[in-house]
Amino acid sequence: MEKEDMGGHVMVPLESLSLELPNGEILVGYDKDISALQEEISTLRSRQRHLDRRRREALDKLIDLKGSIRVFCRVRPLVQTSNLKTKSLVTVEHEKIAVKSVGIKKEFSVDRVFDQESTQEDVFQEVKPILRSALDGHNVCILAFGQTGTGKTYTMEGTDGKLGIVPRAIQELFSHASEDSSSTYSLSISMLEVYLGSLRDLLAPRQPLFRPTECSTACNLSIMATKSGAVEVEGLKDVSIPDLKKANQWYCRGRRARSTSWTNVNDVSSRSHCLTRITIRRQGVTEEVSKLWLIDLGGSERLLKTGASGLTMDEGKAINLSLSALGDVIAALRRKRSHVPYRNSKLTQILSDSLGDRSKVLMVVHISPSEDDVGETVCSLSFAKRARSIESNRDIPEDLKMLKQKRLAELDNEVRDAEEELKHLNEQIRIAEISLEEKKKLNSSVCQALSDEKGSPRSTLVVSHIDATESPHPTEKAKIRVSHGPVPHFMSPTVCSRQRHSAGSHSVSKPRLTKSVNRYPAELSGSQSFSYSSCKNAAKARSVAFSSSVSKMKCLPVKSDQINISSNSIDSTAASAPRRGESFGSRPVQRVPLHQHRRRMSSLI
The answer to whether residues 369 and 76 touch, using CB atoms and an 8 Å cutoff, is: yes
Torsion angle, alpha carbons of 62, 64, 66, 70, to 10: 130
Q: Which residues lie closer than 8 Å to 146 by C-beta, 6 or more apart?
A: 152, 297, 299, 300, 365, 366, 367, 380
**Residue 303: partners with Cβ closer than 8 Å, 6 or more residues away:** 313, 316, 317
CA 180: distance to chain centroid? 13
Distance (Å, rounded) from C-alpha 329 to C-alpha 335?
Answer: 10
Burial of 397 (0-12, 13-18, 19+ CB in 10 A): exposed
Rounded to 5 degrees, φ, ψ at 365 are -90, 130
pLDDT score at 566: 41
- pLDDT value for 142: 95
CA distance 368 to 364: 13
Closest among 353, 300, 361 to 331, alpha carbons compared: 361
Q: Report whether 494 belongs to an annotated binding site.
A: no
> Tell me, what DSSP letter sits at residue 216?
-
Q: Within 13 Å of residue 182, how many CA atoms lie on the same side as its CB?
A: 21
CA distances to 47, 538, 574 from 498, rounded to whole Å, are 86, 10, 9
d(CA 237, CA 60): 32
Q: What is the layout of strands, in order, in the sheet containing 3-4?
A: 3-4, 10-13, 460-463
pLDDT at position 537 is 54
Parallel, antiparallel, or unpaired: how do β-strands 184-195 and 198-201 relate? Answer: antiparallel
Show the 3-state SS of 349-371: HHCCCCCCCCEEEEEEEEECCEH
> What does the chain come to in residues?
605
Residue 352 CB coordination number (10 Å) = 18
Rounding to the nearest 10 degrees, give the CA dihedral for residues 530, 532, 535, 540.
-160
Residues 6+ apart with CB under 8 A from 362: 69, 70, 71, 72, 127, 130, 140, 141, 142, 143
- Any binding-site annotation on 164? no
Instruction: Please count the CA atoms within 13 angstroms of the CA of 212 that sit on its side-chain side.
Output: 10
β-bridge mates for residue 225, sequence order: 231
**Cβ pair 540, 533 in contact under 8 A:** no
* 260 annotated to a ligand binding site: no
Listed in sequence order, the residues at least 6 apart from 313 whose beta carbon sits closer than 8 Å to its beta carbon are 303
Q: Are 152 and 280 in contact (CB under 8 A)?
A: no
C-alpha closest to that of 76 among 90, 96, 65, 57: 90
Residue pair 24/16 in contact by the 8 Å Cβ criterion: no
pTM (predicted TM-score)? 0.60
3-class DSSP state of 307: coil
CB-based contact 200:221 (threshold 8 Å): yes
Residue type, 412: D
152 marked as part of a ligand binding site: yes
Rg of the chain (C-alpha set):
48
**279 assigned ligand-binding residue:** no
Which regions of 164-310 does DSSP assign to beta strands (E)?
A: 184-195, 198-201, 222-225, 231-234, 239-240, 260-261, 269-270, 273-283, 287-296
Amino acid (one-letter) located at 175: S
Strand partners, 364: 72, 144
Return the SS3 of 104.
strand
- Measure the CA angle with vertex 224, ends 221 and 229; round to 5°: 150
Q: DSSP 3-state assignment of 96?
A: strand
Phi/psi of residue 442, nearest 5 degrees? -65, -40
The DSSP output letter for 589 is: P
Amino acid at 349: Q
What residues form DSSP beta bridges with 261? 269
Q: Please state, in angstroms and rounded to a whole number, the distance separating the CA atoms of residues 453 and 27.
A: 15
Q: Which residue type, as a one-letter code, is found at position 471?
A: S
What pLDDT score was predicted for residue 303?
61
Listed in sequence order, the residues at least 6 apart from 429 whose beta carbon sits closer than 8 Å to its beta carbon are 41, 44, 45, 48, 181
The list of the chain residues with pLDDT below 70 reads 1-30, 67, 80-86, 207-220, 260-270, 301-310, 389-398, 401, 452-491, 504-605
Our CA dihedral for 315, 316, 318, 320, rounded to 10 degrees, sits at 160
> Would you say 43 is a known binding-site residue?
no
276 marked as part of a ligand binding site: no
pLDDT of residue 113: 92
Which of 156, 573, 105, 99 lies closest to 381 in space, CA to CA?
99
149-195, pLDDT tens digit by residue? 899 999 999 988 899 999 999 999 999 888 877 789 999 999 999 88
